[in-house]
Amino acid sequence: MCALTAGRRGRRVLVLDRSNKVGKKILMSGGGRCNFTNLQLTPERFISANPHFCKSALSRYTQWDFIEMVERHGIEYFEKRTVNGLSGQLFCKDSSKRILTMLLDECKQAGVHIRTGCDISSVKRQDGYHLHSNQGRFAAESLVVASGGLSIPSLGGSGFAYQLAEQFGLNLLPTRAGLVPFTFSGATKALCRALSGLSCEAIVYCRETSFREDLLFTHRGLSGPAVLQASSYWHTGETIRVNLLPGMDATTLFKTWKRERPKALLRTLLAEKLPKKLIRELEALHWPGQAETALTEWPDRQLKTAATLLQAWELKPAATEGYRTAEVTLGGVDTHELSSRTMESQTPGLYFIGEALDVSGHLGGFNFQWAWSSGYAAGMAV
Ligand SMILES: Cc1cc2nc3c(=O)[nH]c(=O)nc-3n(C[C@H](O)[C@H](O)[C@H](O)COP(=O)(O)OP(=O)(O)OC[C@H]3O[C@@H](n4cnc5c(N)ncnc54)[C@H](O)[C@@H]3O)c2cc1C
């Protein structure tokens, strides 16, 4: 995005990428359909130590600007529906490849040159920028660092931007994996493994934030959109809470059931609300002695405990799956030292954009939109 924007302005642009192909994450994204933006774009959907930083770039190149380009290239798209209605998430109808091809076509029209397989060994600043690489030396007036974050090394993730930031005296904020599944140990791990593949709607709470979307049990722990979103707020050692009965008051519901259907088993009634397999696993772990007890025999206190478990299930993740599967890297280059209008650092001619910065979006197309918007901002300035 930065290259094509600068190229359209008549700048001579060379893109150097270490990988054998550009845009690998675009190809892999959104299950192969690239969730390229979100209609509900607001600065609140981004996590950063400097929350106002993203506003300028996001307002100068919006979701509508990207959609205009997508439509101009005849790419068909759709808005994903979730349990809560329309999500604002836009995906290609066909394939992610269409987005990459569109960007490459735009680059070509703008006269941008691209070199892949280019490993940069050093960058020096003296009358512009001088780069040494396995493909020779390059010199330029300006250098835009767009090498992303640490997530998924096999798709190009690297710490190169952080190295350069350090070299030029920029502050770095601690990095950690975001939009990533949780892993568990002990009984919770065994429960997750037994339920692997099963998903249900839930509200996942982490710190003062919560997300109501699908939750997915995996062999190692928990995943699914609600969990991935919460993971970006989680710090090692913290507990998350899961409400498996969103929009309900389980305590009142259980009391009503006890009064109106006293002979029934709790699991029979719960099966109207939750997958049977999940209820079986929870009852084996948390109320094994009561599993075959008719509701009328349950003391109110125990019913309340079961209700609390289902609506405020406290879980302590052992860890996340880390950068191996994380969709994004939290933290990174401190934006306090960059211009929010141009992405230029205090070193003239040196710019940082995209995921390398301490700006991380929620799940749902926000990270690509940040890449487009910050790329455009720098592309207009270089
Ligand atoms: C599996 C997966 C699915 C995703 N799905 C979505 C989605 O649907 N919607 C969404 O909004 N976001 C999604 N994301 C997040 C999104 O892909 C990233 O936030 C976005 O790609 C960041 O763009 P970027 O240009 O900053 O970095 P990247 O896309 O990571 O690009 C960095 C480039 O720099 C190159 N590079 C790295 N190191 C060097 C070096 N030393 N020298 C030269 N080149 C180097 C890499 O090869 C790569 O091509 C997904 C991420 C993953 C991993």
222 Cβ closer than 6 Å to some ligand 1 atom: no
Nearest CA to ligand 1 atom 33: 147
104 alpha-carbon distance from chain centroid: 24
- Phi/psi of residue 23, nearest 5 degrees: 70, 35
List the chain domain ranges. 2-177+330-379, 181-320
* Per-residue confidence (pLDDT) for residue 82, from 0 to 100: 79
Average pLDDT, the chain: 97
pLDDT tier at 335, thresholds 50, 70, 90 = very high
Decide the pairing of beta strands 143-145 and 46-47: unpaired
pLDDT value at 306 more than 80: yes
Nearest ligand 1 atom to alpha carbon 152? 53
Percent of the chain with pLDDT over 70: 100
The predicted-structure confidence for 117-150, as pLDDT tens digits, reads as follows 999 999 999 999 999 999 999 999 999 999 999 9
* Per-residue confidence (pLDDT) for residue 130, from 0 to 100: 98
Nearest CA to ligand 1 atom 11: 365
Nearest CA to ligand 1 atom 28: 148
Q: Which of 77, 143, 147, 180 to mutate to test the pocket of ligand 1 (most atoms within 8 A of CB)?
A: 147
pLDDT tier at 173, thresholds 50, 70, 90 = very high
Q: Which two tokens stand for residue 299?
A: 């003391």
Q: Which two tokens stand for residue 335?
A: 């934006």
Q: What fold characterizes domain 2-177+330-379?
A: FAD/NAD(P)-binding domain (3.50.50)
Contact 4, 113 (CB under 8 A): no
Nearest CA to ligand 1 atom 37: 147
The predicted-structure confidence for 255-297, as pLDDT tens digits, reads as follows 999 999 999 999 999 999 999 999 999 999 999 988 899 999 9
Q: Cα(135) to centroid of ligand 1, in Å? A: 23
* Per-residue confidence (pLDDT) for residue 85, from 0 to 100: 78
In terms of C-beta density within 10 A (0-12 exposed, 13-18 middle, 19 or more buried), how is residue 303 classed?
Answer: buried
Give the CATH class of 181-320.
Answer: mainly beta
Which of 13-27, 177-191, 282-296, 363-377 bottoms out in mean pLDDT, i.e. has the lowest?
282-296
Nearest ligand 1 atom to alpha carbon 22? 49
Helix (H, G, I), strand (E, B) or coil at 314: strand
Q: What is the mean pLDDT of residues 180-200?
A: 97
The predicted-structure confidence for 210-248, as pLDDT tens digits, reads as follows 999 999 999 999 999 999 999 999 999 999 999 999 999
* Per-residue confidence (pLDDT) for residue 309, from 0 to 100: 96
The predicted-structure confidence for 85-120, as pLDDT tens digits, reads as follows 788 999 999 999 999 999 999 999 999 999 999 999
The predicted-structure confidence for 45-78, as pLDDT tens digits, reads as follows 999 999 999 999 999 999 999 999 999 999 999 9
355 Cβ closer than 6 Å to some ligand 1 atom: yes
List C-alpha distances in Å: 280 to 121, 267, 317: 57, 7, 22
Nearest ligand 1 atom to alpha carbon 19? 47
Q: Which two tokens stand for residue 20?
A: 């054998």
Nearest CA to ligand 1 atom 47: 156
Rounded CA-CA distance 120/160 in Å is: 9
